[in-house]
Chain A
Amino acid sequence: MIEVVLNDRLGKKVRVKCNDDDTIGDLKKLVAAQTGTRSDKIRIQKWYTIYKDHITLKDYEIHDGMGLELYYN
Chain B
Amino acid sequence: MADRPAPSTAAIAIATAIIGALGGYFLGQASSLGIFGAQSRSSRRANHSMAEEDSSSDDDDEEADQQAGDLKEFSDSREECKLVLVVRTDLGMTKGKIAAQASHATLACYKAMKRDQTAAKLLQRWERMGQAKVALQVKSEEELELLQAQAMSLGLCANIIHDAGRTQIASGSATVLGVGPGPKSVVDQTSLANGHRLWAWGIWLPQHASSSRAHSQSLPPQIALRHGFCMYNCHLAGTQVCITGHSCRYTARDAQIAAMADLDIEEVNRVRKSLGMAPLPSSNGSNGGLNFKPAASAEDNSDAESTGDLGYLDGRQAAAGDNWKKLQDEANAKNAREARLAKLKKERDAAQRYAKLEGKGLGDADEDDDQDARSWLLGQNKRKKKIDKARARMLQKELEDRENQAQYTEKDLAGARVGHELGDFEEGEQILTLKDRNVEDEDEEDELENAGLREKEKAKERLDLKKKSTVYNPMDDEEDPSKRSVLAQYDEEIDGKKKGKTFTLGATSASGPFQVNGSEDTVAGLSRQRFSLDLAADEKQPISDYMDISEIKVKKPKKKKDKSKSKKRANDENDTTLPAGVEASADTMDIDTPAGTTSTKRRLDEASFIDDDDLQSNLAAQRRVALKKRKLARPEDLARQLREEASATPMDDDSNDGGLVIDETTEFVANLQKPEVAVQRRKSSPEPPIEHIHGSREGGENDVEMHNGESSDEGEVKPSLKSTAPEETQTTTGLEDDSTLNNGIGAALNMLKGRGLITTADSGDINAQHRERQRFLAEKQKREAEGERKARLQRERDRASGKFERMSAREREQYAQHENKARDQADSRQMADVFNREYKPNVDLKYVDEFGRSMNQKEAFKHMSHQFHGKGSGKQKTEKMLKKIEDEKKREARSALDGSEGSGMGNAASVTQKKNRQAGVRLQ
Listed by A's residue number, 16 A-B pairs whose Cβ atoms lie within 8 Å are A1-B281, A13-B260, A14-B260, A15-B259, A16-B263, A17-B265, A17-B280, A18-B268, A18-B280, A22-B277, A26-B272, A26-B275, A30-B275, A34-B260, A36-B232, A36-B233
| B contacts, CB < 8 Å to A | 226, 230-234, 251, 256-263, 265, 268, 271-272, 275, 277-278, 280-282, 312
Once the chains bind, are A17 and B260 in contact (CB under 8 Å)?
Answer: no
Min CB distance A20 to B, Å, is: 11
Residues of B within 8 A of A33 (CB): 232, 234, 263, 271, 275
**Which residue of B226, B234, B262, B312 is within 8 Å of A15 (Cβ)?**
B262
**Which residue of A15, A21, A22, A26 is within 8 Å of B260 (Cβ)?**
A15
Residues of A within 8 A of B230 (CB): 35-36
Min CB distance A69 to B, Å, is: 14
* Cα A12 to Cα B251 with chains together (Å): 11
Known: A17-B268, A30-B271. A1 touches B280 (CB 8 A): yes
The answer to whether A29 has its CB under 8 Å from any CB of chain B is yes
Interface centre among B260, B271, B275 (most CB of A within 10 A): B260
Once the chains bind, are A1 and B271 in contact (CB under 8 Å)?
Answer: no
Residues of B within 8 A of A21 (CB): 278
Interface centre among A14, A30, A34, A38 (most CB of B within 10 A): A34
- Across chains A and B, the number of contacting residue pairs, with CB separation under 8 Å, is 60
* Cα A18 to Cα B280 with chains together (Å): 7
Cβ contacts A17-48/B at 8 Å (1 or 0 each): 11101100010011011111010000000000
* Cα A50 to Cα B672 with chains together (Å): 117
Min CB distance A9 to B, Å, is: 10
Residues of B within 8 A of A35 (CB): 230, 260
**Which residue of A11, A30, A32 is within 8 Å of B257 (Cβ)?**
A11
Residues of A within 8 A of B260 (CB): 12-15, 34-35
Residues of B within 8 A of A32 (CB): 233-234
* Main DSSP-derived SS at the A contact region: mixed
* Cα A33 to Cα B234 with chains together (Å): 8
Interface centre among B258, B265, B268, B278 (most CB of A within 10 A): B268
Min CB distance B121 to A, Å, is: 30
Residues of B within 8 A of A16 (CB): 263, 268
Once the chains bind, are A19 and B271 in contact (CB under 8 Å)?
Answer: no
* Cα A24 to Cα B93 with chains together (Å): 38
Q: Which residue of B lies closest to A15 (CB)?
A: B262
* Cα A26 to Cα B268 with chains together (Å): 12
Min CB distance B263 to A, Å, is: 6
Residues of A within 8 A of B233 (CB): 32, 36, 38
The 4 closest A-B pairs by CB, nearest first: A14-B260, A36-B230, A15-B262, A1-B280
Interface centre among B226, B231, B232, B272 (most CB of A within 10 A): B272
Min CB distance B880 to A, Å, is: 78
Cβ contacts A53-70/B at 8 Å (1 or 0 each): 000000000000000000
Known: A16-B268, A22-B277, A36-B231. 13 other contacts (CB 8 A): A1-B281, A1-B282, A13-B260, A15-B259, A15-B260, A15-B262, A17-B265, A17-B268, A17-B280, A29-B277, A30-B275, A34-B260, A36-B232
Once the chains bind, are A19 and B257 in contact (CB under 8 Å)?
Answer: no
Q: Which residue of A lies closest to B279 (CB)?
A: A19
Once the chains bind, are B275 and A29 in contact (CB under 8 Å)?
Answer: yes
Known: A17-B265, A17-B268, A32-B234. A11 touches B275 (CB 8 A): no
Q: Which residue of B lies closest to A11 (CB)?
A: B257
Residues of A within 8 A of B256 (CB): 11
**Which residue of A1, A11, A22, A34 is within 8 Å of B261 (Cβ)?**
A34
Min CB distance B897 to A, Å, is: 95
Q: Which residue of A lies closest to B248 (CB)?
A: A15
* Cα A22 to Cα B280 with chains together (Å): 10
Once the chains bind, are A30 and B261 in contact (CB under 8 Å)?
Answer: no
Once the chains bind, are B234 and A1 in contact (CB under 8 Å)?
Answer: no
* Cα A63 to Cα B381 with chains together (Å): 99
* Cα A11 to Cα B232 with chains together (Å): 19
Residues of B within 8 A of A19 (CB): 277-278, 280-281
Q: Which residue of A lies closest to B270 (CB)?
A: A33
* Cα A26 to Cα B277 with chains together (Å): 8
Once the chains bind, are B265 and A1 in contact (CB under 8 Å)?
Answer: yes
* Cα A36 to Cα B278 with chains together (Å): 21
* Cα A1 to Cα B268 with chains together (Å): 11
Min CB distance A40 to B, Å, is: 12
* Cα A30 to Cα B271 with chains together (Å): 7
Once the chains bind, are B262 and A30 in contact (CB under 8 Å)?
Answer: no
Residues of A within 8 A of B226 (CB): 11
Q: Which residue of B lies closest to A8 (CB)?
A: B260
Residues of B within 8 A of A18 (CB): 268, 280
Interface centre among B230, B261, B277 (most CB of A within 10 A): B277
Min CB distance B31 to A, Å, is: 32
Residues of A within 8 A of B271 (CB): 30, 33
Residues of B within 8 A of A36 (CB): 230-233
Q: Which residue of B lies closest to A27 (CB)?
A: B277
Min CB distance A57 to B, Å, is: 12
Once the chains bind, are B263 and A11 in contact (CB under 8 Å)?
Answer: no
* Cα A29 to Cα B280 with chains together (Å): 15
* Cα A36 to Cα B230 with chains together (Å): 6
Min CB distance A34 to B, Å, is: 6
Residues of A within 8 A of B263 (CB): 16-17, 33-34
Q: Which residue of A lies closest to B271 (CB)?
A: A33
* Cα A22 to Cα B272 with chains together (Å): 10
* Cα A35 to Cα B262 with chains together (Å): 10
**Which residue of B251, B265, B268 is within 8 Å of A30 (Cβ)?**
B268
Min CB distance B517 to A, Å, is: 99
* Cα A34 to Cα B263 with chains together (Å): 7
Q: Which residue of A lies closest to B230 (CB)?
A: A36
